[in-house]
Amino acid sequence: MSEYENKIKEVDALQKEINSYRPLNEQQLKELRGYYKIGLTYSSNALEGNSLTETETKIVLEDGLTIGGKPLKDHYEATGHAAAFDIIFNLAKNKELSEADILKLHHLFYHQINVEQAGRYRQQQVIITGTDFIPPAAKLVPTLMKEYVAGLAILENEKHPVEYAALAHLDFVEIHPFVDGNGRVARLLMNIVLLAKGYVITIIPPAVRRDYIDAIKAAQTGQKSKQPFINFISNMVLESQKDYLRLLKALK
């Protein structure tokens, strides 16, 4: 696994520059949300093996067209993720996240793929390929999710927002509450936390997929350390801030 340094100090410095551009007008906000709707939908799905390119994702979402030769499931993942993305800004305004919010995110993402499993905790044991980590038994998931939601308030009070967001993601995928779509919901939850604290939408590019997975595995197996994942996410936030500033300057 590549070594990532903690970039939270740099993130805080860049956040001050971003804040100097605020508040943004409605047209600027609309342009930015459209950009990130495509970018996050493409990248989050690509991390899980979706074959649509970013351009193809844009065509599917904006023009409502299907891409010849690409699986129907890949199209449903794009439209489902986009629907879930549309509600994260409102969820970020809420005082706290609830289990119902998490179930809704999953339902929006997954209902076109499997309506019976959408928005429902798994009823079976799952195995994650490429790792020795075994998620908790299905019967434990409801209790673990209640504890997860309650623990978010503790993380919010005790951790820097970037650490809070990273741990919200990491703790969620460790429970692995759904039969599928856990990574995508985790990245949406991470971004809800960041948005709620005034930070930018953070994208994990497919190019760093190996490092991303290795950082998760480091927390779940072997060294059992969450710091590599926190460091990794701090780098992703920083790079996303740089891109956000580029867009702000272009819009201005």
Q: Does 64 show up as a binding residue in the annotation?
A: no
Q: Does 187 show up as a binding residue in the annotation?
A: yes
Q: State the catalytic residues.
A: 176
Q: Does 49 show up as a binding residue in the annotation?
A: no
Q: Are 201 and 38 in contact (CB under 8 A)?
A: no
Q: Does 22 show up as a binding residue in the annotation?
A: no
Report, in this order, helix, strand and coil percent for the chain, each rounded to 5: 65, 0, 35
Task: With CA atoms as reference, report the closest residue to 88 among 40, 42, 127, 122.
Answer: 40
Q: Does 186 show up as a binding residue in the annotation?
A: yes
Q: Does 200 show up as a binding residue in the annotation?
A: no
Q: Does 6 show up as a binding residue in the annotation?
A: no
The DSSP line for 133-198 is: --PPPGGGHHHHHHHHHHHHHHHHHHS-HHHHHHHHHHHHHHH--SSS-HHHHHHHHHHHHHHHTT
Q: Does 120 show up as a binding residue in the annotation?
A: no
Rg (alpha carbons) of the chain, rounded to whole number: 18
Annotated binding site: 180-187
Annotated binding site for ATP: 180-187
